[in-house]
Structure 1
Amino acid sequence: MTVVGFTELRTANFESWRESARTWRTTAGKLAELENTFRTGVNDGVEAAGWKGRAAGTADRDLEVTVRQIAISASQAQTIGMAAERAASELPAIQALFHAAIQEAETSGLRIVENPAGYTVQAATPTGAAGDPTPADAARQQSAVDGFVARFDTLLRQASEADAGFAATLTTLMPGDVAETRLDAWHDSVEDTRRVAGLYGVGPVPDLDPTQTAAWWRGLSDEQRALYPAAYPRRLGGMDGLPAAVRDTANRIALDQRLTELAPALAGGTSPNHDRREWENLTEIKRVLVAGHARPPGKELILLKFGDKFLDGQVIMSVGDPDRAEHVSISVPGTDATVINGLAGGIKRIDAMQHAADTLTPGGSSNVASVFWLDYDAPEKGVAGLSGSMVGWDRSQEGAPRLNSFVNGVRAQGRDRHITMIAHSYGTAVVGDAARAGSGPGVDDVVSLGSPGMHVKRAQDLHMDPKHVWAERALGTSKDTLVVEGGAYSHGADHKPGGRSLVDTILGEGNDPVTPTDEEFGANVMSGDAHAHDDYWNPGSESLVNQAKIVMGMYNDPNPLQHPRLE
């Protein structure tokens, strides 16, 4: 470790460090702007032009690689700027204490002599001169000398340690790597950020519940909050209780990083099937995000989670910021919902619901944020539209704790917002398990659409006021009939089927099923106009308008005509 000398610390000018930090941060900002311009102006232009075929596919991959390289460079430049900024603030702080100690020593009558070997602190009156101090005075002077020497040495040691730490960090960052084009540089970039983050006291993310997470985040400094998403993007992106904007920033970093990690093996044809499926899922998430880049405020796409716990993927995405909205809806899809075949359609559905809410609101802005929640392994239809996972409870029970955690995370942001959970098909069983397992689902209203059952026989068993439980099923005979009436023999019960064969479960042996639209369930049964299992979101439909009215709490309007229409 290089030792910082007395004269060096006293006379150092750190303005050049500050200027370097500003330059790197400015460079990072310009690279981030370039990434956004390139992505929205070039990538989207190719897609909008309708260019198809093998050449288009190759070009699209090359364009995406270029964008990620720009993003890596922006991240590296920002990290270097933060390291320089930290050095430019900590070392001057040590220097200020050093200057104060020097002034205090001189004011007290001591003399500081600087020399090539370092320095000495001397009493003002040399020993042996006229008026020699008494032994007591000499002892006091020596004590003062020793005290200042100890202070100077401590500050010099702190400066030397800080200088060595910053030098080591900056050496590993290697500014020349900002121009690096290797795709695996993402990993290096994250490691670099973590090293710099350590200078600010940023370490591994703690394992906390949503309420604790919200409190932890609020207790961090501004610098720490700025560093955490870049240093631990994947971990932060999935943490319930963090602000939605923070999760979105972290998840977009983590998404690009993971796609980059998967790319080499996929290109070489050596990737296992799980990685290929993950690539397809993440590519679809990326496609939806890119396609939605130009959405207006209040309709922007916010990525709240993604994952590969299940082969069909995981994703939570919001239209609008749930932390800023007055009303929040959480949409839980049902059977056969996957990232690939469900995300784009799910966003389309909640877009339709938001539009319906806007049309019901004077001025056309309903202040609604709508979340597509696919953080469970939705069952597959299987052969002839039937599967064990579809009639079983395992998938809903496995996903229910994560749904509760997500809702608690939204609540932990502190604002008293109105939250509605809208569940479809098997998704209603997930909501039922989430509600029956504890003190309720933590939301203001629950809407059940095309439900085969919620694993309770009475609305009150959801641990909420039945006046805030709503249900609808499609008119006539359709697939909705098969789902509701056929699925009821498994999901219309209030206990998990056990000891019975699949056939007995379907035929209802030993069961007395009740679904949310049955009178004895006790929910508000809505009068809609859906004629099929997926018709609840048809634009302009009464079914869709009913949902929007519930999401906005219009059942409290003094005008009964504004209430959801009931049978």
Structure 2
Amino acid sequence: MTAAVAVPLSAAARPEIPAPAPARLAPLTAATLSTAYAANRANAAEAARMAEAHGDTHRAAADRELSTPAHHFLTFDGRGPGLATEVFGDLTHADHVAVLVPGSDTTLDTYDRFRATATALQDRLTRTAPTGTRTAVIAWLGYRTPNTISTTVLTTDRADEAAPRLAEFLHELDRVTGPRTTVSLLCHSYGSVVCARAAGTLPVTDLVLVGSPGTGADSAADLHTRARVWAARGKDDWVGEVPHVRSDFFGVTVGFGTDPVSPAFGARVFAAGEGGHSDYFTPGSVSLANLARIVLGDTAEVTHG
């Protein structure tokens, strides 16, 4: 259930990868952005050196690439599977901001695939936004995602841990963006469970669920959000075959309940085309076009599924 990759990549048996603690940063504001970017690049460079010394050449190469000036991280933590929050575009002056939340199997080792979804969306926004309208996209890998082949992907445990972190980040974001900036939250696969757990506290205009196995809520109304709630699933997305049920086994709740694209859930269902589980942000796709329209506030132009 990754944001941009269908092949499960499990790190269950992988030794812990050493890295420095995250950089100590001042509270996030427009004035501290450049300092945060520089500090996190330096942290990624040190993480690369430590991974290299540990003998993990794959992670070392990934961290080294992330330390280049092309990357603008609000947060970076190279320890273990890794965490990162990256900005694409001019966040300080953006009129519209999209925050992407990935699903399972997303780590620093697979980060380039998640990053590709963010760059695809930012490219689409840049090309289609009205003249003078500025946009930014944030790739939020702010939680330890479950492995697709694991029991954790069947429960809300990881989402329950992630939801407060997502809420904290979005409230911090308010200090950077202007009062007229719209923020849309785009949640893929297991990421939609994360977004749903935090929904009632989030300062966002739109909450978008794509390739969702369910949210743990019976309906959009049960999310208790003032945001517009959208949902979509591509025709070839295998998650449509997942039973949308929620059951208790020995005190553990398994499954996520009502299908978000069903009439019973009550979301605004939009067209996602013929694509599969990893295709929602594919350049030129129906789904990407509709996601960009939602972010830009062109809701009347969204094609419905």
Deviation, 1:233, is 7.8
Identity %: 27
Q: Structure 1, unaligned stretches of length 5 or more? A: 1-186, 188-231, 294-300
CA 1:359–1:241 in structure 2 vs 1: closer, same or farther (change >3 Å)?
closer
SS in structure 1 of the partner of residue 201 of structure 2: coil
Taking the TM superposition and a 5 Å limit, the aligned residue runs for 1:535-546 are 535-546=279-290
Q: Do structure 1's residue 479 and structure 2's residue 238 form an aligned pair?
A: yes
Aligned mates of 2:252, 2:42 — CA distance in 1: 47
SS in structure 2 of the partner of residue 403 of structure 1: helix
CA 1:259–1:337 in structure 2 vs 1: closer, same or farther (change >3 Å)?
closer
Aligned mates of 2:278, 2:22 — CA distance in 1: 36
Normalised by the size of structure 2, how large is the TM-score?
Answer: 0.83
| Aligned partner (choices 421, 425, 430) of residue 189 of structure 2 | 425
Deviation, 1:251, is 1.2
Paired letter, 2:225: M
Deviation, 1:285, is 3.7
- State the number of aligned residues: 284
CA 1:516–1:352 in structure 2 vs 1: closer, same or farther (change >3 Å)?
same
Name the residue aligned to 1:234. 23
Name the residue aligned to 1:401. 164
Aligned mates of 1:283, 1:306 — CA distance in 2: 16
Q: Conserved in 2, the CA contact under 8 Å of 1:331 and 1:423?
A: yes
Aligned mates of 2:28, 2:220 — CA distance in 1: 27
Paired letter, 1:284: A
Q: Comparing both structures, which one devotes a greater share of its residues to strand?
A: 2
Paired letter, 2:104: T
Paired letter, 1:489: V
Q: Do structure 1's residue 378 and structure 2's residue 145 form an aligned pair?
A: yes
Paired letter, 1:546: N
Q: Conserved in 1, the CA contact under 8 Å of 2:205 and 2:226?
A: no
Aligned mates of 1:403, 1:501 — CA distance in 2: 24
Aligned mates of 2:279, 2:33 — CA distance in 1: 30
Q: Conserved in 1, the CA contact under 8 Å of 2:23 and 2:39?
A: yes
Aligned mates of 1:414, 1:448 — CA distance in 2: 23
| Aligned partner (choices 258, 261, 284) of residue 62 of structure 2 | 284
Normalised by the size of structure 1, how large is the TM-score?
Answer: 0.46
Aligned mates of 1:312, 1:530 — CA distance in 2: 32
SS in structure 2 of the partner of residue 474 of structure 1: coil
Q: Do structure 1's residue 323 and structure 2's residue 92 form an aligned pair?
A: yes
Aligned mates of 1:348, 1:410 — CA distance in 2: 22
SS in structure 2 of the partner of residue 316 of structure 1: strand
Aligned mates of 2:88, 2:177 — CA distance in 1: 20
Deviation, 1:410, is 0.6
Q: Conserved in 2, the CA contact under 8 Å of 1:472 and 1:517?
A: yes
Name the residue aligned to 1:356. 124
Aligned mates of 1:420, 1:285 — CA distance in 2: 28
| Aligned partner (choices 237, 245, 248) of residue 489 of structure 1 | 245
Q: Conserved in 2, the CA contact under 8 Å of 1:474 and 1:480?
A: no
Q: Deviations over 1:285-334 (max 9, x none)?
A: 431453x73xxxxxxx311111145x211111111232221111111110
Range 347-356 or range 332-341, more displaced = 347-356
Aligned mates of 1:248, 1:322 — CA distance in 2: 12
Q: Do structure 1's residue 531 and structure 2's residue 275 form an aligned pair?
A: yes
Aligned mates of 1:281, 1:461 — CA distance in 2: 41
Name the residue aligned to 1:549. 293
Structure of greater relative contact order (alpha carbons < 8 Å, 6+ residues apart) = 2
Aligned mates of 2:92, 2:216 — CA distance in 1: 31
Q: Deviations over 1:213-251 (max 9, x none)?
A: xxxxxxxxxxxxxxxxxxx981117x5557432311221
Taking the TM superposition and a 5 Å limit, the aligned residue runs for 1:103-252 are 234-236=23-25, 239-240=27-28, 243-252=32-41
Q: Conserved in 1, the CA contact under 8 Å of 2:104 and 2:146?
A: yes
Aligned mates of 2:165, 2:29 — CA distance in 1: 12
Aligned mates of 1:362, 1:312 — CA distance in 2: 39
Name the residue aligned to 1:499. 250
Q: Do structure 1's residue 441 and structure 2's residue 202 form an aligned pair?
A: yes
Q: Conserved in 2, the CA contact under 8 Å of 1:241 and 1:408?
A: no
Greater Rg over alpha carbons, structure: 1
Name the residue aligned to 1:255. 44
CA 1:429–1:390 in structure 2 vs 1: closer, same or farther (change >3 Å)?
same
Aligned mates of 1:553, 1:425 — CA distance in 2: 23
Aligned mates of 1:251, 1:373 — CA distance in 2: 15
Paired letter, 2:273: D
Name the residue aligned to 2:11. none
Aligned mates of 1:361, 1:426 — CA distance in 2: 29
SS in structure 2 of the partner of residue 344 of structure 1: helix
Q: Do structure 1's residue 307 and structure 2's residue 77 form an aligned pair?
A: yes
Q: Structure 2, unaligned stretches of length 5 or more? A: 1-19
CA 1:404–1:280 in structure 2 vs 1: closer, same or farther (change >3 Å)?
farther
Q: Deviations over 1:460-488 (max 9, x none)?
A: 2222236x111001115x42323xx33x3
Paired letter, 2:77: G
Paired letter, 1:463: H
Paired letter, 1:469: V
Deviation, 1:566, is 1.6
Aligned mates of 1:465, 1:252 — CA distance in 2: 36
Q: Deviations over 1:423-461 (max 9, x none)?
A: 0000000101112xxx42221111100101112122122
Q: Do structure 1's residue 415 and structure 2's residue 178 form an aligned pair?
A: yes
Q: Deviations over 1:395-448 (max 9, x none)?
A: 11111111111101110236121100100000000101112xxx4222111110
Q: Do structure 1's residue 518 and structure 2's residue 262 form an aligned pair?
A: yes
